[in-house]
């Protein structure tokens, strides 16, 4: 094989090597601006498949996957209805409506948590296994677990001669809990409300 036509197995260092590197991927070079240091050179390229043109530093271009050297073609391949649907279903969700042609395309999905949401294709790709609803619920679950509000309510009730009858462990200070005073009367109010009342544990309408 002629040395001139040998494939480039290292980073291209000049115009001829870049042409050899890019030709198999249907990329032509419109302009090549060499700089000191091969990675600092700049290329203006054109995709022969889609016609997209781009100016890109050599260092950035050489880091791209060979299947995605043209950013326009690469994005179109990544953001298709089939690809996004497969990604959603892989994480337990369902695509309900919408066609995907690019990263800004909006689709209607049913998340694995059951919530239905409109999401952009790029947001599906970033967080394919969750939506605002289930992420918010996870945050709430973590917060309530760390706060130990039920244990606090039980302690407050006991100190005031009554009981907190609620058994659900994850509660906020604003959730309505079930209380029982020393005389056996029961009612519902929040831990926040009880904490503001001085003295024995009694309902709003006293026993």
List C-alpha distances in Å: 33 to 23, 38, 48, 157.
18, 10, 21, 78
CB atoms near residue 47 (< 10 Å): 20
Write down the pTM of the prediction.
0.40
Separation CA 34–CA 4 (nearest Å): 20
The neighbouring-strand residues paired with 46 are: 28, 53
The answer to whether residues 83 and 124 touch, using CB atoms and an 8 Å cutoff, is: no
Please give the Cα distance from 80 to 125 (Å, whole number). Answer: 11
Structural tokens at position 63: 């880091």
Do 57 and 39 meet the contact criterion of CB atoms below 8 Å apart?
yes
pLDDT by residue for the chain (207 residues), tens digit each? 444 444 445 688 899 999 999 888 888 999 999 888 777 889 999 988 778 899 999 888 888 877 678 877 765 556 889 988 988 998 888 999 999 988 889 999 998 888 898 999 888 888 877 777 777 766 666 666 677 888 999 999 999 999 999 988 788 888 899 999 988 999 999 988 888 888 777 776 544
């Amino acid at each position: 094989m002629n040395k001139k036509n040998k494939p480039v197995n290292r980073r291209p260092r000049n115009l001829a090597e870049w042409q050899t590197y890019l030709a198999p991927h249907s990329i032509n070079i419109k302009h090549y601006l060499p700089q000191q240091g091969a990675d600092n050179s700049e290329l203006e390229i054109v995709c022969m498949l889609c016609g997209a043109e781009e100016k890109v530093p050599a260092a950035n271009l050489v880091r791209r996957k060979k299947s995605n050297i043209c950013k326009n073609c690469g994005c179109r391949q990544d953001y298709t209805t089939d690809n996004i649907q497969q990604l959603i279903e892989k994480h337990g969700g369902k695509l309900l409506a919408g066609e995907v042609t690019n990263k800004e395309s909006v689709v209607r999905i049913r998340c694995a948590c059951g919530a239905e949401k409109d999401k952009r294709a790029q947001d599906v790709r970033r967080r394919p296994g969750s939506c605002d609803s289930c992420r918010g619920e996870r945050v709430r679950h973590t917060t309530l677990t760390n706060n130990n509000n039920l244990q606090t309510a039980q302690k407050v009730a006991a100190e005031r001669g009554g009981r907190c009858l609620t058994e659900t462990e994850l509660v906020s200070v604003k959730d309505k809990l079930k209380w029982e005073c020393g005389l056996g009367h029961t009612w519902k109010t929040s831990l926040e409300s009880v904490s503001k009342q001085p003295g024995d544990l009694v309902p709003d309408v006293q026993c």
